[in-house]
Chains A and B, each alone.
Chain A
Amino acid sequence: MEILNIKNLSFSYPEREEKAIDISEFSVKKGDFVLLCGKSGCGKTTLLKLLKKEISPFGTLSGKIELNTKNIGFVFQNPDEQIVSENVNSEFAFGLENLNISTEEISLRIAETSSYLGISYLINKKTDELSGGEKQLVNLGAVLAMRPELLLLDEPTAFLDPISAKKFIDLLLRINRELGITVIIAEHSLNEIFAFASKVCFMEEGKVSCYDTPQAVAKILKNNEFERALPSSVRIFNALNLKEEAPLYVSKAREMIENNFKADKFEFETNSFEKNALCVKNIWFRYEKKSADVLKGVNFQLKQGEILSILGSNGSGKTTLLNVLSRICEPYSGKITVFGKNIKKINGNSLYQNNLSYLVQNPVSVFVKQTVFDDFKEIEKDEKVIKEFAEKFGVSHLLKCNPFDLSGGEMQKCALIKVLFKRPKILLLDEPTKSLDAVFENELSIILKQIKDKGTSIIVVTHNVEFAAEISDRCGLLFNGVLSAICEKHKFFSQNQYYTTASSRITTGVFENTVLQREVVAVCQKQKG
């Protein structure tokens, strides 16, 4: 039975000629789990919003949307922006009040939904005390308590760390399988979800390019730019032109490699870096006198001209470490030297000019003016230089836009450029790939490598293991307040069993030192002949 049927749908935003949506046919069966994917701006969000009339955007609409249900729930991208109340209990009650449900039934539904999702321990907490993952779960619960038949989600894991994202997606799958709720989800990071969707819909410029099972879509997207968003197992498979079915899981991919190739080693080049850009000795830090230590004796050096990635789970203190390195917080013990000089002896503002720059998480706070150009002018007075940089990084068309109108990826790029105007020799980045799609992630890695080649040393703090593997020279793991296991990237990821790239997991026991999927492909192709 169909829950959604779209015929000849065409939609364009006001005062714009090009069609944001141009779909001739699209239907979803009851109980399906549909994954919508595509580049930024392909129309996924617009399509989802059109399905719910309360949040439908304004514009010229033609065609038919047939919905067999009135009960539709919508979960947005940013966990913070959806929350209405100060505490979780009344957050759940909000939607239920709007349905004119009695107090007793509201209490019952809250109890039932929160227990099912495993978040009943959060019920009495205040919403500002929750982590991002917990907030998004509360949002999901608040929507579920209204008992929707169709659940629409617009990039719900964009702002979450990988562990919370996994938990969220797992819950969605459970909801779909155990409760029979139809799920249509738009997502960028496909690693967790691609294998489990019943159908994948790939959109390009408002049109549905293909709509089929994950394996079929994987084959079709082989030569598309979007292919880099697909999971590593699929990408390796596509690059090798094998005859089998595309492996969606790591285990299947490993089987495929074991069946077709023999044990081998990947030779990698080590770059040696000599001078120290940043030297951190024995840093101890805590936020308040009575609170626990966050950093317990962190020791490391950042060499000139290298990219160092610092990985670690949520709450391990990565952002705190960057705050200490950029002097926003002062450690109560230990020493930091920047190019040989003690950081305490460097005058406040000269530390940030032509020296050290820090791009914070959620770059929204970097912008304050009406246009991106004005924001750039705040730092860089020379207009020619602004235009030069904008050309180089491909954002010239965004200079006249309001920063808040930019998409996540565009905002991240512009924020990075703004920071680069200070010509830093040391660059600190905090989660630069949050809410970025695969194409932007690739562009970002190219930009960072370019900057590195010009001599800037970079520290990237991230959850994104794949990104870290792509760009870094050395990696370290921050755990229990100490930065441990700092070593060359290939060695780092190869010696880890769980906290490592998908490619590494696929090739454990077969290949050595293969950390990126192009390395796996290179070894395979060498073997083939």
Chain B
Amino acid sequence: MAVHAALAEPEAAADPAQGAARLWRRLLRSPLTVTGLVITLAFLVLAVLAPWISPYDPSAVSDTTLAGPSGAHWLGTTQNGQDVLSQMLYGARASMAVGFGAAVLTTALSVLVGVTAGYLGGIGDEVLSLLANVFLVLPSLPLTIILAAYLPHSGSLGIILVITVTSWAWGARVLRAQTLSLRKRDFVEAARATGEPTWRIIVRDILPNQVAVIAASFLSTVTFAILTQASLAFLGLADVTQWSWGTILYWAQTGSALLTGAWWWFVPAGLAIAVVGTALALVNFGIDEFINPRLRQAGIGTKKAQRAQVTARRRPRVRKGAPAVRRPAAAPFTQDSTDVILDVRHLKVDYVGDGGGRTPAVDDVSFTLRRGEVLGIAGESGSGKSTLAYAITRLHKPPAEISHGEIHYTRPDGSTVDVLGLDDAELRDFRWEELSIVFQSAMHALNPVLRIGAQIEDVIVAHRPRMTAQERAARVVELLGIVGIPADRADSYPHELSGGMRQRAMIAVGLALDPEIIVMDEPTTALDVVIQRQIVEKIMELKDRLGFSVVFITHDLSLLIELSDTIAVMYGGRIVEQAAAEDFYRRPQHPYSRGLLASFPTLGGPRRELTGIPGSPPDLRRLPAGCAFAPRCPAAFDACTTRVPQLVPVPAPGGGTAQAACLLHEPGAPNGLTGEQSQSTDELATGEAR
């Protein structure tokens, strides 16, 4: 998810002045939106040209009364022999004029009120918001009717004013909320700090960012105004001698078109309104998807989403059915263990773009997790570590897709499961029973409308259908006790717990079925340091007691070194170094690891200079050829820009198990980074800062 966010970010944080241009580009790419735009434009053109292209005077009576559609009268005639097509064309003028006229005025008023209220804040905001809320709940049609009724024979202008008065509130409320959030953004703060006048900030920094919302509000007001005008005209509250689509329906109703079966009289007007409304709604869908990119994602329940998950070739799975064997009592993990529980090979996860382009977020990642081991995965945001965590459990969503690789899980009884080959039901069994996840933010990962107890219990209901309600309740209390939450908190909702308590509850959810593996995706990032410490200690204590294996993902390298048995460092979607935590800390083999270790202080250990890494993480869409780290690497040489280094074992003097993906470890590289020489390159990495 982090990678996805990183990928989406440039779109959201682009130059504000280009809001309108980007919106246009986005809209013109969707066929439905283009259809909507074309239809709307066609109606506008017809409305403008009406006097020149109408075959008859819309009010002229003739002897051919109530005639059906014919060559002379394409849409037939009315009771008085008037031509319906001419009435429709002239009617388009009034209906479109009211629609767009009211939308212009309404939107202007909405922008004025919304932006003023949002930008100024304080008492002015309170009053304007209250006013908007009052107008929002007042039923608009009766109010419109009252207003229109008192304006005797109100023409289009009167109707436009009445619609403006009754419909400005919605847009004002949305724009106020947007302005409020924009006002706190950096570029607005910066403009204010430089003393730019308020109106200039609003016109140059705020409004361009609201183009999409303003457009959406404008278009829905057009539809609303056309509908309202039609209703008013139909009720006889507008000037019934001026032709509009509503007026046609009014005369059709009073002329009993229904009873005489003159469908051509009343069908075209309503159809025209509906078609224009649909066309505008189609454009608005496009705008909605622009405002809220989540709407572009495919849903969970579709076959397409299921299929898209794994495109890698599937193998026939090993049939399960062997009786569950309890795992051996928690034995301390040792580095020479070969009891592999999770084996990931050459895993590749792509984000598939709109145009079919593929962005690899995880590329050729292989690692093994052994029983009882804590594997720490480190990396900056955008390095692919969260995507990897989700891919292991197949929780990634389109546009992410596993395009290559294998994931094998070994049960305590020795049988092996091909995770990528599991079908729906098997996957549901595998999840949580064998492997659970603790999410980054418990605040967002716990369902806000369910009690904590219920969120633990539903796992048990789903996987242990034979347990009775009492047994389940006892298990919930037991689990809460394990993580140190008082039993009476089972009835609390997530928002009623403190941040640390929520994260413990998350862990309790993760432990519910006593899984073999727990994947922890930055479980302590959102917490303050003291709580962080408590949670980490709790996790380590539980691991020792219950004996599960952990994949721990974080950007906090010092934490990782402290609690992991093995560390894997990710960069640009690949693992660039993997080693026992101890070896890693003492002898980092990859220049990037070295840079990471040099960017934070450690408690204890030798003093060293903090240098950090120059530059910023790579854009996954435009990864450099060769080593992704080359542009930032102090030790890069020619070959680094052309060849992608593979993860290979690096011999170390102490017999360590380090693997690194760096060309410096190949024979013949300049400053060859073999174990014996690591001291010299250590100087190289830190030397730059001196």
Do A and B pair up? The answer is no
